[in-house]
Copies of this chain bind each other. A is one copy, B any other.
Amino acid sequence: MRIVIVGGVAAGMSAATRAKRQNPEAEVVVFERGEYISYGACGLPYVIGGEVEGFDKLIARTPERMRGEGVGVRLRHEVIGVDSKAQTLTVRENGGATHTEPYDRLLLATGVSPVRPDWASPAWASTGASGVHVLRDIPDGQAIEASLKGAKRAIIVGGGYIGLELAEALRSRGLSVVLLERGPGVAGRILDLGYQRQVRHELEKNGVDVRCGVTVESLTAKNGRVTGVQTSSGLLRCDLVMVAVGVRPNVALAQAAGARLGKTGAVRVNNRQQTNVEHVYAAGDNTESVQRVTRRKVHVPLGLTANRMGRVAGINMAGGEAQFPGIVGSGIFKTFGLGVARTGLTQHEADALGLDAVSVDVESTDHAGYYFDAAPIYVRLTAERGTGRLLGAQILGHPGSVKRIDVIAALLHSRGKVHDLAEVDLSYAPPFSSVWDVLLVAAGQASKAARLPRENTPA
């Protein structure tokens, strides 16, 4: 039994270790086109910001260690073709010669690539300017690090997770930062509008010049280095540009294998991570998952999801039985002194899906108001009108306080109701929460709001 895995980061390496554990007799081989395997890509912005000591700290398992566990790792091996009838791959070594590799089970864990918009593409051509970057892997991070020398003014394009984390990182490094966002607010795909505003306020409080509703038209360069960004509202000078406008799943290999994509554009799989092609599996950022709240297919490339899909694929490829449970849409990030967390659906997302949803907004303190250092915490809880089913939550507050979003994630997992949440025996002591934890207050209000007819409730 030869199990071949394409892609050696989160999903790929999780799959490899699980497959080997499931079936120690199997040959497990990982082809990775890059130089590194098994690194925490989510930590990249924090190496730049200085919260992580170096890129090597992100590496969880080296090729040597994997080999010690009986997993073969081939670095700088790019898989450029697949014949799913013959069950073979075409592999290019070190950018040179190609050869053929057989497989009995194949996992495509090819991840995503940053979107590189047309206006930025000259910068990446051989004739283009330096100082224009994306951040997806360790070499990207190293290139940014090199570009930072002498840089003073950065422009970040895109106000999603990566853009926001980079804004903080570059401010930590002493640069002036302008953040450009095409939409009306930052974190627009993560939060409802009011919470977007609070995130923007935190950025501005920390010296980030946030400009929303601005599109980029082109870059300017001089002597091979970027010098500015031409936008819909004028030219902005800079010596560093970060392009963080989203990612696209790497699906070329899946398509070559005959695997179907879903409406999301990512690879479609069943809950055992099988594609429609026999013996071909997919897992990780290139793959769809099921959103348990809506029971729809979604493409949400995040670290835990990728690792979990990888485990499931690894077990199944090696003859075991595991199912991916789906996601509920949890996400968390930090921007300067503000923690931001969400799970399930925002009101906006629920509306777009045609759900009859109602949201309540509660402000409280992260611990007892009389206990020193109490900080504000904001919870928006979204429920289905009539049934009271929990649909989602958003939390803003001190970074130490927002992981209580996980309580909501746990209840969403089992399709709980706001009334259930209102009754939970949450832990209380003055240094940790108010007697009525903000989640309980929000649940009580949402429980009431969900019982009222639409015309009597907040939007």
- Give the B-binding residues of A (Cβ under 8 A): 10, 40, 42-43, 46, 51-53, 57-58, 292, 302-305, 307, 325-334, 339, 341, 343, 368, 370-372, 399-400, 402-407, 409-414, 416, 420-421, 423-433, 435-437, 439
Contact = CB atoms under 8 A, between A and B. Distances in A.
Nearest to A402: B432
Given A339-B432, A429-B333, A430-B52, A413 B406 contact: no
A451 to B, nearest CB: 14
A397 to B, nearest CB: 12
Contacts of A325: 423, 425
A379 to B, nearest CB: 13
B42 A428 contact: yes
A400 B302 CA distance: 24
A420 B292 CA distance: 13
Nearest to A55: B370
A58 B370 contact: yes
Contact of A429 (B42, B326, B328, B423): B42
Nearest to A45: B430
Contacts of A433: 403
Nearest to A398: B400
B430 A304 contact: no
**A43, A332, A413, A429: most-surrounded residue (chain B CB, <10 A):** A429
Given A43-B430, A427-B409, A370 B420 contact: no
Given A409-B424, A421-B410, A370 B330 contact: no
Contacts of A343: 425, 427
Given A307-B436, A343-B425, 9 more contacts: A46-B431, A57-B370, A292-B425, A332-B427, A339-B432, A399-B431, A406-B437, A409-B424, A414-B416
Contacts of A331: 427, 429
A329 B424 CA distance: 10
Nearest to A430: B43
A329 B428 CA distance: 11
B327 A370 contact: no
Contact of A368 (B40, B328, B330, B429): B40
A330 B425 contact: yes
Contacts of A426: 304, 330, 406, 409-410
B52 A329 contact: no
Nearest to A339: B432
A110 to B, nearest CB: 19
Contacts of A428: 42, 302-304, 330, 332
A378 to B, nearest CB: 16
Contacts of A57: 370
20 contacts: A51-B371, A52-B371, A58-B370, A302-B428, A325-B425, A330-B426, A331-B427, A332-B427, A334-B429, A341-B427, A343-B425, A399-B431, A404-B406, A406-B427, A407-B410, A409-B425, A410-B416, A410-B421, A411-B414, A414-B414
Contacts of A437: 304, 406
A339 B432 CA distance: 9
Given A304-B436, A426-B304, A426-B406, A431 B51 contact: yes
Contacts of A421: 410
Contacts of A42: 368, 428-430, 435
Nearest to A305: B425
Contacts of A52: 370-372, 430
A368 B42 CA distance: 10
Given A329-B425, A425-B304, A427-B405, A368 B410 contact: no
B435 A40 contact: yes
